[in-house]
Amino acid sequence: MSESPRGSTEDRQKTDDQSDVERTLGALGQVVASLAHDLNNRFQAILMQTDLLQQKVGLPPVVSLRSKEIAEQARQGSELLVRILEFSRKWVSDRREVDLTSLVKRFCNSLKGSTSGNIRLVMMPENPGECKVLADAGQIDKMLENLVKNATEAMPDGGELKISLSSVVTGPERQAKNPQMPEGDWIRLRVADTGMGISAEKLPYIFEPFAKYKDRGEGLGLGLAEVRGIAEQHGGNVSVESEVSGGTRFDIFLPRMEATQRRVGSEELTPPGPGAEGATILVAEDDPVILSIMADGLGTRGYRVIQAANGREAINYYDRMGKDIQLVITDVVMPGIGGLEVLKQIREKNPAAKVMLMSGYAGVQDQHLQADWYVEWLEKPFDLETLMNAVKKALSGDQ
């Protein structure tokens, strides 16, 4: 028996509806991912504050009970965040070497015939050299799809869509203009259109979920939020320039693989000179509340703590006091110079340096990092005992 036209139409509608749901969940997951770092920092502060409170002598029983309940709520909140990320298939789960030149060429070939006939597609390599990054190719494709969709919607009467790759080397001057880009080698993926553009009033909102520059009925309003989430999860960032009737240009910056993958030291890690008691620890964390709490917590166990508010401060402290520092603890995601760059520069200065990494991106330990690059990885939020156990293990050389 042949399938009725009505049944076929209903099946297609169900398939389309399911696809819409999956796209929505995926986009929401990327939005949650971009917020996960800040959310887990808040949970981190709550957990360690309550731990320090529990150490107070003579604490009234009711206060002790309430602080334990607060800590438990923070742990449950973090677990719920992980579940949301897992459910929406958020994380970059398959990072491997990706040649962006080949990926972009393949993507552009797939667009032929799918874009409007009055939109001219141009791919401009701009002599980028070797464009290899550590990435999830499917996520990069999704990012391109969102940007191209955004561009074609901006050109209802036709125009030109350019996709290009180029190499960018950041130095102090460029970093001053964009503090989110540490010094180093980057690949810039640019998607530019000649469409209607975005006004200066609406431009600040475009990366927000259900962006305010979208008219009702124009998509989900999650596409650009998802683009930013994917870029940040890959250790990069995104910038945009636009003017009304003058088109829009999105630049995605991803760290070149050689800059992030390069082995920074091959010597065996050696035990610290003094014992764990009284050891000096350098902590780099851009959240001042967490930095202060970690310093207080480590101080209660007899450690000497040097506090660095960012990656640049951490490197400067190590340059001056490295011979007296037995352990470095650094957040991975910080403005300017991030934790991976701190790790790289410190290990270049001292291949035997012990560096512990911590991150608020729930469940997203950088899979391309080799185990002997760092001595411990802490996923926020963690309590005081977890921190102390990790520090003790790192200083003892028991990896």
| pLDDT for position 233 | 77
| pLDDT band at 308; cut points 50, 70, 90 | very high
The Cα–Cα gap between 145 and 53 comes to 49
The single-letter DSSP state of residue 199 is -
pLDDT in tens, 335-348: 778 888 899 899 99
| pLDDT band at 246; cut points 50, 70, 90 | very high
| CA neighbor of 290 nearest in space, from 111, 74, 19 | 74
pLDDT in tens, 247-278: 999 999 998 876 444 333 333 323 333 445 57
- With a threshold of 0.85, does the pTM exceed it? no
pLDDT in tens, 15-66: 555 555 555 655 665 666 666 767 788 888 898 899 899 888 888 989 889 9
| pLDDT band at 237; cut points 50, 70, 90 | confident
Looking at per-residue pLDDT, the higher value among 268 and 155 belongs to 155
Looking at per-residue pLDDT, the higher value among 334 and 146 belongs to 146
Residue 191 has pLDDT above 90, yes or no: yes
CA angle 231, 194, 120 (to 5 degrees): 95
CATH class of 96-260: alpha beta
Average pLDDT of span 288-304: 91
Instruction: Kindly calculate the radius of gyration of the chain based on its CA atoms and give it in whole angstroms.
Output: 24
User: Is residue 252 within 8 Å of residue 236, measured between CB atoms?
Assistant: yes
Average pLDDT of span 66-70: 90
> CB under 8 Å to 102, separation ≥6 — which residues?
none
pLDDT in tens, 370-398: 555 667 888 888 888 889 999 998 998 75
Most confident stretch, 37-46, 173-182, 237-246: 237-246
Residue 364 has pLDDT above 60, yes or no: no
| pLDDT band at 114; cut points 50, 70, 90 | low
Residue 123 has pLDDT above 60, yes or no: yes
- Round the average pLDDT of the chain to a whole number and report it: 78
| pLDDT for position 367 | 46
| pLDDT band at 282; cut points 50, 70, 90 | very high
Residue 121 has pLDDT above 50, yes or no: yes
| pLDDT for position 208 | 76
CATH superfamily of 263-396: Response regulator (3.40.50.2300)
Long-range contacts of 102-106 (CB under 8 A, 24+ apart): 103/137, 103/140, 103/141, 104/144, 104/163, 104/165, 104/189
Looking at per-residue pLDDT, the higher value among 81 and 306 belongs to 306
| pLDDT for position 42 | 86
CA angle 243, 244, 248 (to 5 degrees): 50
| CA neighbor of 150 nearest in space, from 207, 100, 188, 80 | 207
